[in-house]
Structure 1
């Protein structure tokens, strides 16, 4: 077996040393430098395309073709870097490294040539870059203007009543108060603010009022100028001629003891309040500032004044229906029976967004009221909602373009999830990390950075909280249907991902979401495939070996959760780029021994499978961060040596033994530990190990014999501990329970406590959930 490999190696080395291959040899040894250049070039390309999106300048077909070419080169660059990084793993044979270097070097030369050609063509066939039009800003200004009187507040009445109370009464408070209306684009924030601003009682209540459409483009001087014109009633020409400093002086001196209402519509920058508060007098006259924003962080930035936040949600169906009928049936607002069923389907497509409902109703008001006509509209309305024909996409697209560069691919990855589905916070964070969207920082883990990304997407109303824990932490999230449509449209347009609902993936697909049963991969080589997500039982019972070798070579994510998979082929070990392997809920009974080659694997999820033990050398997975093994009625044996996994943070479903408990002592970086079948003689050593886990926030211990008391007296958990799950006889609560100041959730199963534990537990300041279970007689 060794002779052919050795002969091949000698042949390669010989060719490198020959005079004819000197240049080839130099190229091989210079690949590291070329990869460094490529990393910098890729980063520059990413930032440049981000700036192009932010500017949102229309450049026609030529510009779009150029951007598509750039995206293709970026994909090729990512692949070349991944191949090089994989070849640097310790244990790769010399021959393999040389072959990888040759491959990467050739790829980089092609990329250089392509970049040169694209740059040349762009110069030779240059079309004058159009200036950004002010039409969009003017359109936004007109839409914002409170002088536009067609204001329907169907479904917003409850919000309006609360808002008027805050503006007019505010508890009869005289201090300056800021009210923020927060919600996704199109949910009715500006409409609600207009209705309050034009209310006769509001006009009487304040001495002066001003409405300022801020948007993303307005500068500070323009904002101050609008404030002076509205609140001081200074003519437009005179105000426009004043410098910024003079405008500030006028506001501070002129407002004096006046009671004013100031509305800032469509605020994006969280720093606006820090500047505006400097020119608003603290005159205790009962003045109010009203802000509309899509970003909850803008509302959270208010300091030095009383702050109230109203979070607007999409309308329920009944209110959506009433608003639609008002717009579609102008005479009496009553829907004819002939089109009622189709009309209800149209309203459901608008998923509670007033902007979409008004647009749909206005469009249908001019249609013939026959079921045939309305059904033809229903067939195309989803397309119209997505491509901007109803004015929805541009509203939501502006929210996407405002996202920081790292958050854009995070949002687009949500396109792979089926409609109406939820995704757990933990899974989403791990997928982002596996994709490489989250960059490592010196002072925090990848997981913490990723959770900050998610919090920002939620604050910016791009992602919704589906379920939360009793402490308020996000457990699962989802995407509003129209934002889901936007994510899908963006992903397809930018060749980021594709949804396969009626056919298998194509040769050039980057990320595929398979949402059909019994999917099959063709024998075509899919050289660009990076991630595979399978839903709706699309995962086959077994993946063919040639599919793995031909299609999955560069794959980072394989998610087969809840699929029908019965067997995982040994060729899975060849996927050296794999970061995430999701097998939860499959029917697997074992894992191939070749998985010890998955050096870059970060997440292995085998929960709720039929696997009883891991037989491959798991110690080789040196980048493993999350090992999820929790089963319904059993725990899993793993081989000794896992103490070398110094990046492991999550370890669940582990079967205890004396050797296992001893090795756990090295995993001081664990944040979550779930261990079962613990013997009492190993309890003290486990306690000693856990005491060194300074960042442990979750601990679950199940004994092998629930009838014998478990000695946990020596346990002194980290102050970070938030969730504790103990099973087995305790008789009395250990003394360290009183020190669990951050504990929010406690489960005690079969504890057989002789004393009432509440005298201790009531003193835990953050405990919100307590559950106990007893042995059935």
Structure 2
């Protein structure tokens, strides 16, 4: 697996960085620099090479990169544990020289192979033929279309509407979801046939051949190319195609397009006839579709629901006949287990059509639908594998890492990014932080329809992700093939889903593991002491009463997530390389100040309060620290200058208790976007908000258990980027008097960028506001405000408002919201406003 190189490169760049002060190299620095040079050079070659050329050296590169990592990290761990006071680090020179020679040999071989292209044409033609055969076989007849009536109507309308300019209609979705089937049925629809003067279809594939594309467009799908056209040169074909399209209303379908390059090459042959011509493309790549037609023009094909999945399965097996009553239940289960993917339903339907139509046989098939699909149709696996094979090298390990999580598991994006970074998968790129670069990776996987966005943030950006069940099976299969995850002879990464799983392999194999991810609540045998070189230890589901002391020996850790009631012990700074520390479930405890000696920290999330100041001396600026929850605001913290040493913090939680007069100036934290402020209403510190100075960069603000004054709300209106405001269990103050039963926004109060507002468990009776106070609000949530009399009627006049959600409020609030919706519908013909009312 060639992309192991990036992890090696990350390690070498870190220990050779000029600002690195942890290690001093006696005589190995030249060898390490040479190794880094060879690794980077080989990586550049691999990034430009096709998967076909990389495959022959894949195993060798993987083993060499792993060997180099083991040499470096084993020596670092040994030094840290045996002689922690020493900064001198020495590696065995012959070992370093050997892996350097092996990488250099691979680079030379790849360079020579890139120049010797005698067999390349044959390889590309073979791949192209395979892709086209799979593409053709994936197109189904109209009788197999189920659950896509709305798609058909929308697409036919876009093809036949009154717009005279040439319009591009992209159909986007994951492999096997039915893009080509949908396009083919529209292409053959009598309405489309009669509407257009000329129709053309071409299968593009991953390896496009412009000559064959032009021949296809001149001939039509499933038609033999005439001898006359076959004898034409490329320039002559271009001229013929342009002449056939010029002056005619045409519809062209470009099926399975993978890159923008082929579009740029072919679009020049589509004349602007100003007569309503259309070009349809199908693609798995959302970024390709956006490049071609813009983000607003995309038509995303959705997975089928349970009912449509069952109906499609029965249509494939029984045709026009009804499904026998005894099979309806198991048919529904099989359809449901295909997770809405039409290609999977077609494959399992093909299997069921060849076996006995008895409940026992179908029940047997239903026990493992996914295995039956893969075993019965190799082509199914090949079609899904195309998406993986087409991935750039740097995205492959990020995709395979999803196999570490259980089926239907939803993972937070920030967690996933931190795991990738800890593993060394994310390449440093100029001025971007590693997290920003990981965001690019996430977006790319979503655009390729390999990751699904499961939940979104209040601002509409993705928050949580998952992977389709059948893509997860592909993920696990590829991870096993490439020795990436959970193998008996190679334990680089260990994943445990069930509490009953015994993962205690040989100590020697476990000592090479770099990731240990457990989503169960416990493991059958203790393994921490075996994980000598582990970088990722994610055991959040397990709750420890006492912190496992063995973890303090895992000095190669970069990511640690766990739950513990006793907190974090002294000695945590031994984990010198730690980037992410997440600890849940603990009660109040003394926070070890030595944690501020850990220069690699990027994210610190604790359930306890972090007290800074007592005996703490500022030694350096924490430039890498981006997340910290929760900092206890005390006079000693302010005196320590703590907020001066976290200049790049993005997410911050602060807690006030008994110090209302402390002024906290955060205005210099220009990257701070997400701020949570919390106190206790029965404490003096609950009035601290008036002493708080904000940076203009704030996008999300959460305040809980605080006293809110009118002057504070006026201050918030000056924040130009505030998009999300959540206020919970707070009381309002006017003229120094707390617990006022009213929130009145004055005429001058304008939250000009606010898109999401949540009022949670407030004791207010009256809320006075109008559309000018929240001019761009999209969503309003009012939860647990039992005393509130109504939602201001003018809120409904906000032109951008999309939804109002009410939960746990009185009948008068519910009535006011229904009235707002009624007025919008009857007087303004606004049927888009959604109202959700929950008890």
Q: One fold, TM greater than 0.5?
A: yes
Contact (CA 8 Å) 1:47, 1:405: kept in 2 or not? no
SS in 2 for 1:297: helix
The answer on 1:215 being equivalent to 2:178 is: no
Query: Are the counterparts in 1 of residues 287 and 447 from structure 2 also a CA contact under 8 Å?
Result: yes
What pairs with 1:285-684 in structure 2 (closer than 5 Å)? 285-302=275-292, 308-330=297-319, 332-335=321-324, 337=326, 339-379=327-367, 381-386=369-374, 389-498=377-486, 506=488, 508-517=490-499, 519=502, 521=504, 524-525=507-508, 526-539=510-523, 547-549=527-529, 551-583=530-562, 586-610=563-587, 612-615=589-592, 617-629=594-606, 631=607, 635-638=609-612, 640-641=616-617, 644-661=621-638, 662-677=641-656, 679-680=658-659, 683-684=662-663
Q: Greater shift after overlay, 363-372 or 667-676? A: 363-372
Please point out which of 191, 211, 218 is paired with 1:201. 191
User: TM-score normalized by structure 1?
Assistant: 0.82
8 Å Cα contact 2:676-2:702 kept in structure 1 = yes
User: Given the superposition, is the C-alpha separation of residues 767 and 205 from structure 1 closer, same or farther in structure 2, using an over 3 Å criterion?
Assistant: same
Asked if structure 1 preserves the Cα contact closer than 8 Å seen for 2:534 and 2:557, the reply is yes
Change (3 A) 1:587 1:714: closer
d(CA) in 2 for partners of 1:666, 1:253: 68
Instruction: Report if aligned partners of 1:566, 1:589 keep a CA contact under 8 Å in 2.
Output: yes
C-alpha distance in structure 1 between counterparts of 2:72 and 2:748, whole Å: 56
Q: Deviations over 1:531-555 (max 9, x none)?
A: 1001121347xx86xx544x22211
Distance in 2, Cα, partners of 1:68 & 1:566: 43
More strand by share: 2
Residue in structure 2 matched with residue 184 of structure 1 by the alignment: 174
Q: Secondary structure at the match of 2:669?
A: coil
Instruction: Say whether residues 1:137 and 2:128 are aligned partners.
Output: yes
2:175 aligned with 1:173, yes or no?
A: no
| Contact 2:673-2:697 within 8 A present in 1 as well | yes
Q: Do the aligned residues in 1 keep the contact of 2:202 with 2:254 (CA within 8 Å)?
A: yes
Preserved contact between residue 38 and residue 100 of structure 2 (Cα < 8 Å): no
CA distance, structure 1, for counterparts of residue 309 and residue 718 of structure 2: 51
For 2:128 and 2:355, how far apart are their aligned partners in 1? Answer: 31
SS of alignment partner, residue 770 of structure 1: strand
Structure 1 stretch displaced more, 365-374 or 440-449: 365-374
Instruction: Report the RMSD for the aligned CA atoms in angstroms.
Output: 3.8
Whole-Å separation in 1 of the counterparts to 2:748 and 2:755: 11
| Counterpart in the other structure of 1:36 | 33
Of 152, 164, 179, which aligns to 2:156? Answer: 164
- CA deviation after TM superposition for structure 1 residue 176, in Å: 1.3
Distance, in Å, in 2 between the alignment partners of 1:713 and 1:47 is 54
Work out whether residues 497 and 511 of structure 1, in 8 Å CA contact, stay in contact via their aligned partners in 2. yes
Mapping of 1:138-157 within 5 angstroms? 138-142=129-133, 144=135, 150-151=141-142, 152-157=144-149
CA distance 1:209–1:658, change in 2 (3 Å): same
CA contact (8 A) 1:641 1:663 kept: no
Whether contact under 8 Å (1:146, 1:198) holds in the other structure is: no
Cα distance in 1 for residues equivalent to 2:109 and 2:165 = 62
Aligned counterpart, 1:10? none
Distance 2:490 2:295 in 1: 55
Q: Which whole-Å CA distance do the structure 2 matches of 1:523 and 1:477 have between them?
A: 34
Structure 1: any 5+ residue segments left out of the alignment?
A: 1-27, 499-504
| Structure 2: distance between partners of 1:710 and 1:507 | 60
Q: Equivalent residue for 2:245? A: 255
Q: Helix, strand or coil: the match of 1:212?
A: strand
SS at match of 2:687: coil
- In 2, Cα distance between the equivalents of 1:200 and 1:552? 65
Contact 2:632 2:655 in 1 (8 A): yes
How far does the alpha carbon of each residue in 1:312-351 deviate from its partner, in whole angstroms, 9 at most, with x for none? 11111111111111222347241351x5554444323322
Task: Quote the offset at 1:55 in angstroms.
Answer: 2.3
TM superposition shift of 1:647: 1.3
Asked if the contact 2:251–2:277 (Cα under 8 Å) also holds between the matched residues in 1, the reply is yes
Q: 2:748, 2:314 → 1: CA distance? A: 59
Aligned residue for 1:589, secondary structure, equals: coil
Q: Secondary structure at the match of 1:261?
A: strand
CA offset at residue 384 of structure 1? 4.3
Give the TM-score of the pair, scaled to structure 2: 0.77
Is the counterpart of residue 752 in structure 1 residue 732 in structure 2? yes
Render the CA deviation track for 1:97-146: whole Å, top value 9, x for unaligned.
Answer: 45x523xx3543564687899999999xxxx9895374553354355559
Deviation, 1:370, is 3.1
Q: 2:68 is paired with a residue of what secondary structure?
A: helix
Q: Is the 8 A contact 2:412 2:464 kept in 1?
A: yes
SS at match of 1:33: helix
d(CA) in 1 for partners of 2:288 and 2:662?
A: 50
- Tell me the secondary structure at the aligned position of residue 194 of structure 1: helix
